[in-house]
Structure 1
Amino acid sequence: MGWLNLFKKDVPEPSFEFDELERIFGNLELKSLAVDKAAEFVARIFARSEFKFLDNGKKKPSNWDYLLNVRPNKNETASEFWQKAVYRLITKNELLIFLSDDDQLLIADSYIRQRYAVFDDTFASVTCREYTFKKSFKMSEVIFLQYNNNRLQDYFTQLFSDYEKLHTRLVEALSRNNQIRGVLSTKTNASFDEKKREKMQRYADGLFKSFTTKTVAIVPAQEGMEYSELTNTTGTSNLSVDELKKLRRQFDDEVADILGIPNALMHGDMANLENSQKMFNTYCYQSLVKKMTDGLNFALLSNSEYKNNKRIKIIGEGQRDKFALAQSIDKLISSGSMLINEVREELGLEAVPWGDKPLITKNYQLGEDIEKGGEKKDESDSD
């Protein structure tokens, strides 16, 4: 019967160390702040983008123009919608945008994905703003994007575990700086009764209140009690709040590096601003635009439309500065390396009717003519 006693044992009541919980949640807030700061930075820039429907390189009116650029749904503007979409894509690693029965673009808060090998994946129990749709959506009916990989959040967690220890130690060390420390001693070897303890506690409370609330504190001496302060002799350090600020900034920089954001650009440093913007466009913004463009073209265009050179194009802040590239553009066109419409496409501009013919400046000549001995003599010249 001894084994039956296992079911009669008292179950211990769960207990929590609230100081430890407060420390954990405080550190998690620091981690979330770093991720949110980087994600919001990218999301705000992408929200200024414009979506164009192109037919053979020329902008054509489309039923999607209003939804993509003005009002995707009844409760959000286009900038709010796309900022929320990019933020969710970066922080949650996945983004599901679907079209409701009344033609509203919505961002799913949660869903259940059923994967298949050769058929479309399906999304069931799609929830948006606490409303769950009964309909299941196929992959071909939605815009579904994955930002990086499923280990992105795991990497953030592992990275933060190292910074958490340093951050906790710095906070503890800074809390001890300039802390009032003292010893209250008595000149007696007798044991203390409750009355004497209360007397000493009132005296200690009075000292503490005077030291913390008054710029000039004068306290009376108590017979048999002596107070000595240790603040200026032990337990001091040279740490400052700047050390804590540097550590937090270092963690922000690590998160920014993972997402491809130059540190100087995210912190607003004006030094090498142009180079930072180029790096951001190359390593972060353009890849995000490519992911979003591929998702839109797959969801909004059929196979036949894509073959007929119809495209959804995103024009945003990450586009190249046309004026800064003026000299390079001239060289590319005048040398015949690129057509005018090819250059315009790279700059996010529409094609022009006369832009598909190569243009070469007059002073260009073939290499074989140079080997023959220079320019050909004009036969019309005569002595």
Structure 2
Amino acid sequence: MGFLDSVLRRNSELEWMFDLDINVETTQRVYLKRIALETCINFIGRTISQSDFRIMENGKRSYNDWHYLLNIRPNTDQSAADFWQNFIYRLIHENEVLVILTDSDDLLIADSFTRVEYAVYPDIFKEVEVKGHKFQRTFRMDEVIYLTYNNEKLSKFMEGLFDDFANLFSRIIETSMRANQIRGTVDIDSSHSLDEKTQTKLQKFIDKLFNTFKNNTVAIIPKIKGFEYNEVADGSFNGKSVEEMTKIKKSLIDDVADILGIPNALIHGELSDYETSIKAYVKFCIGPLIKKISDELNAKLILKKDYLNGSHIEVRGVTEKSVIDNAEAVDKLVSSGAYTRNEVRVKFGDEPSDNPALDEFVITKNYQTASELKGGEKG
């Protein structure tokens, strides 16, 4: 420091400049993580929220209290669509979701809980909390709806990737801001005394000057003798950084979508290969989730003996194809005698009709076996 001290003593005008606050702050781009997770998880949540939960008994749909809870109003504060969207969000984001049935017959999604596992007895859940209310009782596994998604939380699994993307994204933003920032120099008459009081006044004036340029498209400032401001233009900014930031956000969303099984074209609203993307989305993403949910509902809401006698819960409305769009295929299934009309109705998500004629096989085309074919006239 000896050399620097001697320089500062010879140039007293420079000494005060080393006290100025010149900091470069690196911001953690947490919203990148939220954009990727929220976009993908809510996409799945909105899909599942359209489901129709059917309690089937003897091949017919039963309308009871569970139908109302699962399809209309699970609790006093949520509609069924909001409930199931929140359900999926918790399941994927937190890797697990717990739903309890209160004494007032409300289905509530737990905000936090502690699971106690046993080897030969049902696990129990204690310290269950919903909206700040902590239940004093414990809940057995056979009393709740409980699902897990993967072996590890998605947010934890993606933590390293998000950090890398955040650092890269921050660097691009910093580079863009430096390339497009206002730069200027200030010439000060060295004959002015630069004591602490003068330094403070000068710094305040420079700050006001900067804010004037920053906040106004047209800025007029007074010209002071011995004080001259010169702006340094930098024409290096070409707008490429904006395109690069967009690519980074899209790439991060693509990575999360790949993990969840959502086709990239579908999550970005691209219409190319739309039908193929929908089929892949339903088969590899929505189908397994529907299977998890239906298995859990059947295990917890339907008694074993009733299930074996045909009673069950179906989750419809998402994986079924449109009967209108597949009218030609419907005609072939029926006309070939492969399926009855009621069986086709069930396959497309409709309930079977009470008309017994629809349970009969109908052949409207000339499908025959080789032995039934007749030859021509005998010679």
What range is the shorter-chain TM-score in? 0.7 to 0.9
In structure 1, what is the equivalent of residue 27 of structure 2? 23
Give the whole-Å Cα distance in 2 for the aligned partners of 1:205 and 1:125: 54
Please, what TM-score do these two structures have when normalized by structure 1? Answer: 0.80
Aligned to 1:38, the other structure's residue is in SS state: helix
Structure 1 counterpart of 2:144, one-letter code: V
CA contact (8 A) 2:102 2:108 kept: yes
Aligned-residue offset at 1:68: 1.5
- Tell which deviates more after alignment, 240-249 or 100-109: 240-249
> How much has 1:44 moved relative to structure 2?
2.0
Paired residue for 1:152? 154
Which residue of the partner structure matches residue 294 of structure 1? 295
Match of 1:14 in 2: none
> How much is the aligned-residue C-alpha RMSD, in angstroms?
3.2
Which shows bigger deviation, 89-98 or 147-156? 147-156
1:58 corresponding residue in structure 2: 60
Q: 1:58 to 1:214 in 2, by over 3 A?
A: closer
Alpha carbons of structure 1 residues 147 and 206: separation in structure 2 relative to 1, 3 Å: closer
- What is residue 17 of structure 2 aligned with on the other side? none
Aligned pairs, how many? Answer: 354
TM-score by length of 2: 0.81
Alpha-carbon distance in 2 for matches of 1:206, 1:299? 68
Aligned-residue offset at 1:250:
2.1
Alpha-carbon deviation of 1:305? 0.7
Gaps of 5+ in 1: 1-17
Measured after TM superposition, the shift of residue 342 of structure 1 is 4.1
Residues 107 and 218 of structure 1: CA distance in aligned 2, closer, same or farther (over 3 Å): closer
Letter in 2 for 1:325: N
Q: Which amino acid aligns with 2:223?
A: P
In structure 2, relative to structure 1, the CA distance for the partners of 1:138 and 1:222 (3 Å cut) is same
Q: 1 CA distance for matches of 2:297 and 2:327?
A: 31
Instruction: List gaps (5 residues or longer) in structure 2.
Output: 1-22
Calculate percent identity across the aligned residue pairs: 39
Please name the residue that 2:6 is paired with: none
Q: Residue 15 of structure 1 corresponds to which residue in structure 2?
A: none
Counterparts of 2:70 and 2:210 in 1: how far apart (Å)? 63
Question: 2:201, 2:131 → 1: CA distance?
Answer: 60
Q: d(CA) in 2 for partners of 1:54 and 1:336?
A: 26
- Amino acid of the residue matched to residue 127 of structure 2? S
Is residue 218 of structure 2 the alignment partner of residue 215 of structure 1? Answer: yes
Partner of 1:331: 332
Correspondent of 1:36 among 30, 35, 38: 38
Q: Secondary structure at the match of 1:182?
A: strand
Counterpart AA for 2:374: E
Provide the secondary structure at the position in 2 that maps to 1:106: strand
Q: Does the C-alpha gap of structure 1 residues 130 and 205 become closer, same or farther in structure 2, counting only changes over 3 Å?
A: closer
Q: Distance in 2 between matches of 1:378 and 1:301?
A: 64
2:186 maps to a residue whose letter is L
In structure 2, relative to structure 1, the CA distance for the partners of 1:266 and 1:106 (3 Å cut) is: same
Asked if the contact 1:57–1:345 (Cα under 8 Å) also holds between the matched residues in 2, the reply is: no
Q: By how many angstroms is 1:80 displaced?
A: 2.1
- Structure 1 residues 257-306: Cα deviation after superposition (integer angstroms, max 9, x where no partner): 22222333333334443333323222222222111111111111111111
Q: Which moved more, 1:200-209 or 1:283-292?
A: 200-209
Q: 1:122 to 1:222 in 2, by over 3 A?
A: same
Q: Which residue in the other structure is 1:134 paired with?
A: 136
- C-alpha contact (below 8 Å) 2:45/2:84 kept by paired residues: yes
Look up the match of 1:179.
181
Residues of 1 paired with 2:55 and 2:207: CA distance? 74
Confirm or deny: 8 A CA contact 2:53 2:71 kept in the other structure. Answer: yes
Distance 1:203 1:67, change over 3 A: closer
Q: Which residue of 2 aligns with 1:161?
A: 163
Are the aligned partners of 2:336 and 2:365 in contact in 1 as well (CA < 8 Å)? no
Provide the C-alpha distance between the structure 1 equivalents of 2:204 and 2:111, rounded to a whole number of angstroms: 57
The answer to whether 1:80 aligns with 2:82 is: yes
For the pair 1:364 / 2:367, whether they are aligned, the reply is: yes
